[in-house]
Amino acid sequence: MITNTYMVPHPPLAVHEVGRGEEENISASIRSYEKIAEEIAEIRPDTIIIASPHATMYRDWFIVSAGEKGYGDFSRFRAKKVAFEKEYDTELTAALSSYLEQSGFPGGCEHEGDPELDHGTMVPLYFIDQKYKDYKLVRIGLSGLSLPMHYMLGMAVQKVVNDLNRKAVFIASGDLAHCQKEDGPYGYKPEGPQYDERIMKTMGSAAFRELFDYDPAFLNACMECGHRSFVIMAGALDRRSVKTKVLSHEATFGVGYGFVTFEDNGFDPERNFLEQYEDAEKNRGASDDPYVKLAVKSVNAWVTKRERINAGADVPEELKQKKAGVFVSIHEFGELRGCIGTISAAYGNIAEEIIMNGISACSRDPRFSPVTAEELPYLQINVDVLGDAEVISDRNMLDPKRYGVICSLPDGRRGLLLPDLEGVDTVEEQIDIACRKGGIDPEDDRLILERFEVIRHV
């Protein structure tokens, strides 16, 4: 079983050969690492499992360490002599990979892009190895998939560890916010210290249900790197009572370093946080808006039957009489799941526009795999009806909360961004994203800007 789990950061300068004395400025973190290493030495686990943000990361796949051994050193941090050669727990990695495949879960030993150990893995091992070396390693990467999917991966790890009767510890490697000081490497943003205060309370009280409530835009703004590691660890503790201890937190260099330990305290059926979250999310996207209801009906029919519906008698006449460009956006667990639209009318009326773009959003958005029937209860769908676009001569005529923007060039390249999107707060951000979508240089002198308003139906 997984007897103990640990939330830890991974600053390379904590390694003496890298920090060369600079590590004394994060002495609380060094002491916390030493305490954890001593505790692991007392536990004497068969296997150490580490989830690292710096392992190979794919948008839609979780990497599990492949091969028989892992190698790595700190040469990129000018300390090449600090090197590691770790034997993997190949029985566990094979069992986990097989279980994920049988479950249809996107993860396993395939597709590992870089077999070398990353610093998110090596920094914890540096301290552990000073106290204990008689273990095998399993390394897990993160993905761009939803937070619930990360939790499910942790649940799979727990099951496989128990099935193999392994004595294991789990380490969730991850720094906190990176933008906590003006003179830090990433500057200052208020979301930085806000995240650190909030996540230390969440983890310090083992309130893992709260991990799903962190808005994706907020996580992006605070520049954290460990949140998904923490969610995997929480999944590995699903239905387990834990004894929690906060060791330290500091942000000396503008990056948050937090240490929390968790000791297994037995079975607790009420700590089924994923089920609680999914129950709360079910049908949360239900709407009485006729535009949204039509989009939902279109998506459901396509996903379950591969059928294209027709606008029925219950659809208001305005949807059948008017023409306009329409975007259908799909979110799941607070994260984008698909978004496809038309800048101007491409079909006979708004109803057909919604139906066709709903089908495309759930099945043809190249950024995502097609929506499955199992996901339907958890989807939130909205519909944006676009007004007429007007060419503008000055960027000051834009407002990312009120206007969407179309960026284009005379050669036909064009990119669009809707208004009032989470995480897009400035005109510069809006133009940059729209240009990127169209493969356009935002500084191109030929750039043509258009603005438009939308009516959003939720």
Q: Does domain 283-383 have CATH number 3.40.50.300?
A: no
SS3 content of the chain, % helix, strand, coil (to 5): 40, 25, 35
Residues in CB range of 67: below 8 A, 6 or more apart: 88, 112, 115
pLDDT for 92 equals 98
pLDDT, tens digit, 9 for 90 and up, residues 46-75: 999 999 999 999 989 999 999 999 999 999
Q: What is the pTM of this model?
A: 0.83
Write the pLDDT tens digit of every residue in 295-334.
Answer: 999 999 999 999 999 988 789 999 999 999 999 999 998 8
**Cα–Cα dist 75/81, whole Å:** 7
What gap in Å lies between CA 182 and CA 189, rounded to an integer? 8
Other CB atoms within a 10 A radius of the CB of residue 321 amount to: 10
pLDDT higher than threshold 80 for residue 250: yes
Confidence (pLDDT) at 286 = 79
Pairing of strands 404-408, 240-250: unpaired
pLDDT at residue 451 tops 80: yes
- Assess contact for 237 and 154: CB atoms under 8 A: yes
Which burial class, exposed, middle or buried, applies to 374 when counting CB atoms under 10 A from its CB (0-12, 13-18, 19+)? exposed
What token pair was written down for 370? Answer: 């097609």
Residues of the chain with CATH 3.30.700.20: 283-383
Which helix (DSSP H) or strand (DSSP E) does residue 112 occupy?
A: none
The whole-number pLDDT of residue 247 equals: 98
* pLDDT level of residue 86 (50, 70, 90 thresholds): very high
**Confidence label for 347 from pLDDT (cuts 50, 70 and 90):** very high
User: What pLDDT sits at residue 422?
Assistant: 84
DSSP assignment string, 90-107: HHHHHHHHHHHHHTT-SE
pLDDT value at 113 more than 80: no
Residues 104-113: what's their mean pLDDT?
89
Q: Is the CB of residue 416 less than 8 Å from the CB of residue 343?
A: yes
Residues of the chain with CATH 3.30.1490.150: 387-458
Q: What is the pLDDT of residue 217?
A: 86
> Which architecture does CATH list for 2-279?
3-Layer(aba) Sandwich (3.40)
Taking the C-alpha atoms of residue 14 and residue 126, their distance in angstroms, rounded to an integer, is: 9
Amino acid identity for residue 37 in this structure: A
How confident is the model over 333-344, as pLDDT tens digits?
888 999 999 999
The per-residue pLDDT for 312 is: 83
Q: Which pLDDT band, with edges at 50, 70 and 90, does 205 fall under?
A: very high
According to CATH, the topology of domain 387-458 is Dna Ligase; domain 1 (3.30.1490)
How are strands ordered across the β-sheet holding 379-386?
Answer: 335-341, 326-332, 379-386, 454-457
Residues of the chain with CATH 3.40.830.10: 2-279
